Amino acid sequence: MLLLGIETSCDDTATAVVRDGREVLASVSTDQDAFHARYGGIVPEIASRRHAALLSAAVEDALARAAVTLDSMDGIAVTRGPGLIGSLVVGVASAKALAFAANKPLYGINHLHGHIFAAFLDRDLPARYPFLALIVSGGHSQLVRVQSPTKMVILGRTHDDAAGEAYDKTARLLGLPYPGGPELDRMAQHGDPAAYKFPRHRPVRGSLDLSFSGLKTSVRYFLESPAGKKAKLEDVAASFQAAVVDVLVARVDAAFSQREYTGVVVSGGVAANSGLQHAMRLWAHRSGADVLIPPPKYCTDNAAMIAAAAFYQRDAVQADPLTLTADPNLPFD
């Protein structure tokens, strides 16, 4: 089954051609970092205009790289939400036009479901249920019990900042360029993670929920203190990263001990973080659990994961009508 995937939920214009939910024949992605860097963050109006300018060429590029035609597709999969409304509208409108022109089924996909199934791309490994998923990105941080391709239960979520958001805001405090998360990770690799003891916050005792706003604020107050002004920034970055990673691994460990799971999927942009990957491998060795982390190119927003989710969910959901609309607040379930 060949699916064309389209992803425009934020600021990456992405298209892909995927066979049977796993074999990526082509994956095209163009970031907009150069357009947003001067503002220190994503400007929604700029993002949507760039999608409109780039998406048609990105679709043609993906089809050409895969050496296939639109007529040979078995369906069009597009991110319906959640995300920036202007960006989503561009992707959904384009997907509807392609589906109408080629008379192909249209699948509106939840962006977060895509992140979950990204773990199975480029792997000859079927999804075995139920598994535990940790989704950590710039906009989302949550633990999910995945019982089937379409039945998923959120076990814990952030009360404030997502992990990726905390990374970007802390990177700004450290004077790092946008996008700050990957820059902070690189800086942390040269620092001492035990140099400073930043808080590991649990918003509700006994719950699996997350909170990173207090950690970010703690770093800010420390940097403004006399000790912080003399601190080695690499040590601050490493200590911040250690706090984030400790919290995430602790929640995975707690959730995994409560029920039987076939394994753990860690996905989203922060899943590419070197500290988190190292800690999850150590946890997997200690617990004897299987941990799947997508390759870095599939951790960040991409269209291959959207096509993968459509493949896995196709038997449980009907194709969407051409009246499909974008939903920036699309619920997880």
Does residue 277 contact residue 271 with C-beta atoms inside 8 Å? yes
Q: Which residues pair with 7 in a beta bridge?
A: 14
Compute the half-sphere exposure of residue 160: CA atoms within 13 Å on the CB side of its CA: 13
What average pLDDT does range 1-6 have in this prediction? 98
The angle that helices 274-287 and 233-258 make with each other, rounded to 10 degrees, is 40
Residues for the chain: how many in total? Answer: 333
Q: Residues 110, 49: one domain? A: yes
Question: What is the C-alpha to C-alpha distance for residues 229 and 315, in angstroms, rounded to an integer?
Answer: 58
Q: Residues 57, 132: one domain? A: no
Q: Give 197's pLDDT tier (boundaries 50, 70, 90).
A: very high
Q: How remote is the C-alpha of 202 from its chain's centroid? A: 22
Q: Give 54's pLDDT tier (boundaries 50, 70, 90).
A: very high
The answer to the question of residue 279 being in a domain is: yes
Q: Give 39's pLDDT tier (boundaries 50, 70, 90).
A: confident
Query: What local confidence, expressed as pLDDT, does residue 233 receive?
Result: 97
Question: What is the C-alpha to C-alpha distance for residues 307 and 20, in angstroms, rounded to an integer?
Answer: 9
Say which CATH number the domain at 196 has.
3.30.420.40
Q: Residues 158, 46: one domain? A: no
Query: What local confidence, expressed as pLDDT, does residue 150 receive?
Result: 93
Share of residues in the chain with pLDDT > 70 (%): 100
Which structural domain, as residue segments, surrounds residue 60? 2-118+298-313
Does residue 193 contact residue 242 with C-beta atoms inside 8 Å? yes
Is the pLDDT at 36 greater than 80? The verdict is: no
Does residue 51 contact residue 13 with C-beta atoms inside 8 Å? yes
- CA dihedral for 167, 173, 177, 183, sign (positive or negative): negative
Q: Tell me the backbone φ, ψ of residue 179, rounded to 5 degrees.
A: -75, 135
Q: Residues 148, 262: one domain? A: yes
The answer to the question of residue 209 being in a domain is: yes
How large is the greatest C-alpha to C-alpha distance in the chain, in angstroms? Answer: 66
186 Cβ contact partners less than 8 Å away, ≥ 6 residues apart = none
Number of structural domains the chain divides into: 2
Tens digits of residue pLDDT in 123-137? 998 899 999 999 999
